[in-house]
Structure 1
């Protein structure tokens, strides 16, 4: 198993790296060159940089992913591509994507896009909280213990 992180806007990278390190699970952070960093990373963690194009990170993640890997992303579209490939896919707010919730999530995203396209405003995501952070850690640990 490898853990892949859709890294441009992932607020739980530190949790993932910590929990993966305890279990010697390799972590790959895929992020755009706009987020380049020279900061040292712990052993077992690597960063793959991609162009800043709209779906560049998504395409790279799907290319790197293998059945049984775990992916952390907030991108519903990327999650919908990863599930059929046999990945476990988690959202940073502490829920797992699966076939039973994917259709609703994609439909909600589409409806919000149509509202915005018509000139109306939609609510943005709720702020990320310590409760979300705790919920994510708990879910991640349970998924890592399944293997």
Structure 2
């Protein structure tokens, strides 16, 4: 299993959790972004800078992800594409996207896009809180543990 991180919008605290997990659990983890980010020196942690543009990092992740890999993203279409390739997808808030819930999440996303396009102020997501960080860390640990035991 490899971990692929949509790093453009990934919160710093989540990146820190992933840095620690990659080293501690010896999991290849690649951060992709269209701007440079600092990653600690590690044989398990990689950074790949992609060109600027809409969904360029997402497209690169979809191209590289394989069955059984894990994608970290809050981007619902990217999560859907990863799931369709047999990968797992986890949001920085700790929500595990699955075959069972991804279609409804896509529908909600499309509905909110339509509302915003019609001028309705929908606001952004709430700030990441301690519970979100804990949910993420717990789900990440369960996924890695299950993979390493199989």
* Range of TM-score over shorter length: over 0.9
Q: How many residues align?
A: 145
C-alpha distance in 1 between matches for 2:37 and 2:15 = 14
C-alpha distance in 1 between matches for 2:92 and 2:37 = 22
From the superposition, tell whether residues 40 and 91 of structure 1 become closer, same or farther in structure 2 (CA, over 3 Å): closer
C-alpha distance in 2 between matches for 1:16 and 1:113 = 30
Q: CA deviation at 1:84?
A: 1.2
Superimposed CA distance per residue, residues 44-87 of structure 1 (whole angstroms, 9 cap, x where no aligned partner) = 11111111111100110011111111110000000010101010
C-alpha distance in 1 between matches for 2:56 and 2:40 = 24
SS of the counterpart of 1:8?
coil
Q: Do the aligned partners of 2:116 and 2:122 also contact (CA within 8 Å) in 1?
A: yes
1:25 aligns with 2:27: yes
1:51 is matched with which residue?
51
1:116 is matched with which residue?
116
C-alpha distance in 1 between matches for 2:37 and 2:115 = 37
From the superposition, tell whether residues 100 and 39 of structure 1 become closer, same or farther in structure 2 (CA, over 3 Å): closer
SS of the counterpart of 2:8?
helix
After TM superposition, the score normalised by the length of structure 2 is 0.92
C-alpha distance in 1 between matches for 2:2 and 2:15 = 14
After TM superposition, the score normalised by the length of structure 1 is 0.93
CA RMSD across the alignment: 1.3
C-alpha distance in 2 between matches for 1:143 and 1:55 = 26
2:93 is matched with which residue?
93
Give the unaligned 5+ runs of structure 2: none
Give the unaligned 5+ runs of structure 1: none
From the superposition, tell whether residues 123 and 86 of structure 1 become closer, same or farther in structure 2 (CA, over 3 Å): same
